[in-house]
Structure 1
Amino acid sequence: MQKIKMDKSIFNDFYWLNKPEEYYFENALVIETEPETDFWQRTHYGFRNDNGHALLTDLEGDFSFAAKFKFEPQNKYDQCGIMLRLDSENWIKISTEYENQEISRLGSVVTNYGYSDWATEDISSEINAVWYRISKRGKDFLIENSFDGRKWLQMRIAHLHQDFEEIKIGVYACSPREDSFKAIIEEMIIDENHWEQE
């Protein structure tokens, strides 16, 4: 198990996709999102956005990647979570997306060949801290969440169709509307695969 230090040394192994103007370290990585940033491809809405902020590293083989987030959403669709990515048209994101003061949407987006889907479950907007974990077995992925970092709940099993040997994995945050918010990443862990073989 590799616990990632949440300080400037993180850049020895991780790099930015769409670097935010404002980020800093306070025993955690704090990202201040820029307005009108998002990750989405085509489906339903028709638009294509690939300008959200993501801090990524490259991994090979099978693994589990987990991260703990705290967030202070301000506007509809504010979100932060895990990003797993081949390129702009093939990726997976896991997050809680803010809807209003009562309801947010815990969910995941899987994008294959430039078309995104969105699987969600409504949760209370009073929840402002969540763990996410994604476990890789070949081209298949187990997506989970936890509210305490110990008990994990399956959200979905997904597949990426594009062939690959190496994949990018890390954390992301974005604000699709005209404002920003603070996403706080307290922990990141790279581990051996936690997805048990049936």
Structure 2
Amino acid sequence: MNVHNIPWSSGTWTVPPKSVNTEGDTLNVEAVEGSDYWEKTLYEFQHDNGHALLAPWEDDQGVEVTFRLDSFTELYDQAGLMLWHSKTQWIKAGIELNDGVPHIGAVVTDDYSDWSLSPVAEWAGETVTIRASRSNDAVIIRARTEHHPWRTIRVARFPHLTGKQAGPFLCAPTRAGFQVVFTAWRHTQPDEALHTDPPTFSGK
């Protein structure tokens, strides 16, 4: 199995967070209050000031990001994996806190954003991995924790053959002081098939 851990230093931030520091293998990041990604749908506004640490991503690679949930306490606290082609063509997938409950979800954007989510109260306080793998014109997005197996959370169109980037993201739409500890960022082999779970790696 070809697994490549991506150094945090190899990525570039779309918008710099309030603070960033590394401790051993972990990346500790604090979001700027009011940071978010969204394009027009329902709310009509456009937000592109969230924080995504991006590096090139090729079709023959799965990409995974792992992070801790113990800091998610306020409405819309969110972090996970960003798949990026441009400011109006991107997908963010991860955990977002809604009504005091962590939800797993994705925002898929092609000029306009849509939002899908599902509660995962049993994941509270755990360490989560979000994974994406391309297949034909789409991406398969999955998630797990150290105590819960892979679940497929979205199959979404993402047809871009070149210029793709991916990496960890976080946003704090409603408050100051939101910090996330990311413990892994890696490239792996792509998924074998939609109904075949990928391997599980440690969060380090």
* TM value normalised by structure 2: 0.86
Is the aligned partner of 1:75 residue 2:77? Answer: no
CA contact (8 A) 1:105 1:123 kept: yes
Q: CA deviation at 1:62?
A: 2.9
Match of 1:35 in 2: 33
Q: CA deviation at 1:166?
A: 2.5
Q: 1:92 to 1:165 in 2, by over 3 A?
A: same
CA contact (8 A) 1:135 1:195 kept: no
Q: Distance in 1 between matches of 2:58 and 2:126?
A: 32
Q: Distance in 1 between matches of 2:23 and 2:155?
A: 34
Q: 1:176 to 1:197 in 2, by over 3 A?
A: closer
CA contact (8 A) 1:81 1:172 kept: yes
Q: List gaps (5 residues or longer) in structure 2.
A: 196-204
Is the aligned partner of 1:3 residue 2:12? Answer: no
Number of positions where the alignment pairs a residue of Structure 1 with one of Structure 2: 190
Q: CA deviation at 1:150?
A: 8.0
Q: 1:150 to 1:121 in 2, by over 3 A?
A: closer
Match of 1:56 in 2: 54
Q: Distance in 1 between matches of 2:119 and 2:12?
A: 32
| CA RMSD, Structure 1 to Structure 2 (Å) | 1.9
The C-alpha deviation readout for 1:38-83, integer Å capped at 9, x for no partner, is 0111111111101001100012333210111113024210100000
CA contact (8 A) 1:32 1:182 kept: yes
Q: List gaps (5 residues or longer) in structure 1.
A: none
Q: Distance in 2 between matches of 1:189 and 1:141?
A: 17
* TM value normalised by structure 1: 0.88
State the secondary structure of the residue aligned to 1:176.
Answer: coil
State the secondary structure of the residue aligned to 2:17.
Answer: coil
